[in-house]
Chains A and B, each alone.
Chain A
């Protein structure tokens, strides 16, 4: 524990990920993330961004390396991964709301079942969170009666309901119609300004420039480059240049 800086809440060291089909998705990836930091990961399709994000809450196991979340080792067999996941919220590209529950039901479910909160308390907190993401009027709607942007905001509220220390976002706006991207990014911005530690995979370069403390570029399973946004976007790294040339 001596070599850990007390600021890093996520320490990923020398991560290797080889899928059962032989696909080598992560190659020696190391990244430390500080408490309250917003890190944006960009990179071409198939570069391993999602895989890396998903190793941080063990939706994917790693083949080699170590990950510590708040000084808890994820590779330690004694670690209760469900406890770690309570601390690490995740927002998916495809929302993954529970279709059989209302917006409020989605938000309150895990606090009730996992944290064993009384229903009334969980729902009160849920209402406040939904208010915070601008959905006070839509609490009793089922996901099928919400727009994509609204669904993604419910998904964010649902993750926040567990009071996580870290939030992971995997392309949260990629499945949205352009006019709905803004409302979701606004929620994420306010979350960042509240001091939440966030790891965000996105193609929204504007968000990266404006909100990120650090931007990370991945390609072919490698972490190629990490910098502050100003330096990142003015870098002349040829691999990064090639990628930015394609997306911008």
Chain B
């Protein structure tokens, strides 16, 4: 009970700091005379585009009940019927000539930022699947009793963790990509999965080693072979234990995927750059891009937290 007022106080402090930060951004943009044009952003996420439907022949427009536009041709062509439109540009009984605008139809269009988001999502999901497979096998090889497997795994992990991802992406695209004739997307996915796989391998290794050796002994003493013991006893426990670091790694993967924009994959970051050059509203665009990344990573951490809760039934 005694702690209550302090808690409230510190929550208030937090809110004040956040307000202060917001004000700082506002004041900062004021001081450089920046005009915020947030209204320019939504159209790059999703927009409606009006297309005008024009008359294909000379004729008479009639509006029938149910808001249906019918144009009957003067020369006996089949009548044109338009059932759905957003703006009517002719009146009932008007004479229309070929090429006259009849109605406007609005189409929903996905904007470049959303396409970027979809690309980022695709890159991340595909790379994630491969990274988990690579990481699982490299992690198992890392603790194998076979020296060849062990050294291979150590070499892989050290090589990947010792070089920057950006450099790896260039190597994958320009060297391996050229040798194996890979397209951009494949090269990007390969670089991201190989990179993330090395980190997952370490997570897998430490996860497996954190399970007491007695578990393996119990499983083997029941007649399970090594693979059965791994699959049924060790990995399920290790999986649960490695979820938090895995979540971090998955989130890193989503963020790291922004680096593939250097090989001209139009992911969210590259889309952002393109939109900046057509809107001249860099602040808004980058804030919007950041927010879209946050939506992805936030959804992922939420999903993993749900999974953790579900798995904690046996605790």
Interface residues of A (CB under 8 A from B): 57, 59, 82-83, 85-86, 88-90, 92, 94, 96-102, 109-110, 113-115, 142-144, 155, 158-159, 162
Contact = CB atoms under 8 A, between A and B. Distances in A.
15 contacts: A57-B221, A59-B221, A82-B220, A82-B224, A82-B225, A86-B222, A90-B218, A98-B215, A98-B219, A101-B314, A109-B222, A114-B222, A143-B314, A144-B314, A162-B222
B221 A89 contact: yes
Contact of A98 (B218, B220, B228, B315): B218
A100 B237 contact: yes
Contact of A99 (B223, B228, B232, B237): B237
B44 to A, nearest CB: 47
Given A83-B223, A96-B214, A113 B313 contact: no
Interface string B233-268: 100110010000000000000000000000000000
Contact of A159 (B222, B233, B313): B222
B228 to A, nearest CB: 5
B218 A92 contact: yes
A92 B216 CA distance: 12
A94 B212 CA distance: 11
A99 B241 CA distance: 12
A96 B218 contact: yes
B64 interface: no
B158 interface: no
A142 B314 contact: yes
A59 B222 contact: no
Contacts of B240: 100
A100 B314 contact: yes
A114 B215 contact: no
Interface string B294-315: 0000000000000000000111
Contact of A94 (B214, B221, B314): B214
Interface of B: 212, 214-215, 217-225, 228, 232-233, 236-237, 240, 313-315
B236 A100 contact: yes
Contacts of A114: 222-224, 228
B223 A142 contact: no
A97 B220 CA distance: 13
A97 B221 CA distance: 12
B221 A90 contact: yes
A98 B232 CA distance: 10
A158 B237 contact: no
Nearest to A59: B217
Contacts of A100: 236-237, 240, 314
Given A85-B223, A162-B222, 7 more contacts: A86-B222, A90-B218, A96-B218, A98-B215, A98-B219, A109-B233, A114-B228
B215 A96 contact: yes
A100 to B, nearest CB: 5
Given A110-B223, A114-B224, A92 B314 contact: no
Query: What 9 A-B pairs have minimum CB-CB distances, sorted nearest first?
Result: A86-B223, A96-B218, A110-B222, A96-B214, A90-B221, A142-B314, A114-B223, A85-B223, A100-B236
